Amino acid sequence: AERVFSGVQPTGNLHLGNYLGAIKRFVALQESHDCIYCVVDLHAITVWQDPEELRRHTREVTAAFIACGIDPSAHIVFNQSQVSGHAELAWVFNCVARMGWLNRMTQFKEKAGKDRENVSVGLFAYPDLMAADILLYRATHVPVGEDQKQHLELTRDIAQKFNTDFAPSIAAYGHGEGYFPLTEPLIAGPATRVMSLRDGSKKMSKSDASDFSRINLTDDRDAIATKVRKAKTDPEPLPSEEEGLKGRPEADNLVGIFAALSDRTKADVLKDYGSAQFSAFKGALVDLAVDKLGPIGGEMQRLMADPAAIDAILIDGADRARVIADQTIREVKDIVGMVRG
Ligand code: TYM
């Protein structure tokens, strides 16, 4: 059976990139798949988080999921730390993955920067925990933005190495060919990598110091209008064909955002706005963004006003996730050779 898993870190400033690259696509997959969507608080603490903020951001991501249209009763929404199997399987994967594999992770290199001696061990082992998230549920498909591609390749490598390292034991327990699936990344659409509004060479990110670099899910019309109006562009009018966006990263980004928000292709958007000036295009983009994001921000605020109701959703989700996770953990312990009562 096909199962979707994905996660979002509760580190604040949820933005348009998170929405178009991930959450909007989580919503669409509910029609065709069993979905598990996780607020990954264990990942968040690989960089120090203020405890009160971590709680607030965990509820905020949950509220965003629901406000965007994820149905927590038909699917599963929970926070990672409440299902102990994530940490348990991550430990096993720490012993499967090789130092060399993790050394090649570009996200670690970016996040650690020059201060390698001073980042947490957890930040280095982060991708093993991510593989554990996915494989704990033996998920077959993982919708993410482009920046997670390398982590998903590592997840496949870990699954494959586990399957070969323990092949006889896996067979002895009757699991047939390979225990873990080789998960498929789902990275598609016109907005797999939304760029900063201030700099077309940097991705839109939660941690950018400038709030003008991103549109937050909770921004109101004024904020959206100001940010789009100030967004960096070039002096040429828009091209009529997608080909014409090459070498124009800011134009490409805004057209991609427009396309993703309106469920169209970039080529299709350019049929309407080819040879338009940016001022006109930006006006249309503000209207579109306010139309799509306004209700989400409003609904998030309404949900956030009742934290107990959000917590109840997370508790119920964790209870249902645990049923699947506990079985995997029992099977993995048997396969690896751990005696259990
Ligand atoms: P995180 O919390 O940084 O981002 C959540 C999702 O948003 C996507 N994303 C973007 N997409 C397009 N353009 C952007 N500028 C942009 N910025 C972020 C991310 O690709 C992601 O899909 N490691 C993950 C969380 C995670 C996870 C998992 C994901 C933990 N375990 C298991 C999938 C499966 C992360 O840091 O996402």
- pLDDT (mean) for 269-297: 96
**Containing structural domain, residue 246:** 211-302
- The pLDDT confidence band at residue 341, using thresholds 50, 70 and 90, is confident
Same domain for 175 and 224? no
Domain contains 195: no
pLDDT tens digits for 46-71?
A: 999 999 999 999 999 999 999 999 99
CB neighbour list of residue 93: distance below 8 Å, 6 or more residues apart:
128, 129, 131, 132, 135, 158, 162
Is position 149 annotated as part of the catalytic site?
no
Same domain for 313 and 296? no
pTM over 0.95: yes
- Pairwise CA distance, residues 105 & 100, whole Å: 9
- The pLDDT confidence band at residue 309, using thresholds 50, 70 and 90, is very high
Same domain for 280 and 331? no
CA 155 to ligand 1 center in whole angstroms: 15
Whether the per-residue pLDDT at 77 is higher than 80: the answer is: yes
Same domain for 295 and 311? no
Domain contains 203: no
Dump the DSSP string for 55-84.
HHHHHHHHHHHHHHT--TTTSEEEEGGGST
Interface predicted TM-score (ipTM) over 0.90: yes
Q: How many domains does the chain have?
A: 2
pLDDT of amino acid 1: 73
- 206 annotated binding-site participant: yes
CA 6 to ligand 1 center in whole angstroms: 8
Is position 203 annotated as part of the catalytic site?
yes
Same domain for 161 and 289? no
CB 250 within 8 A of CB 232: yes
Atom of ligand 1 nearest to the CA of 130: 31
pLDDT of amino acid 168: 96
pLDDT tens digits for 125-167?
A: 999 999 999 999 999 999 999 999 999 999 999 999 999 999 9
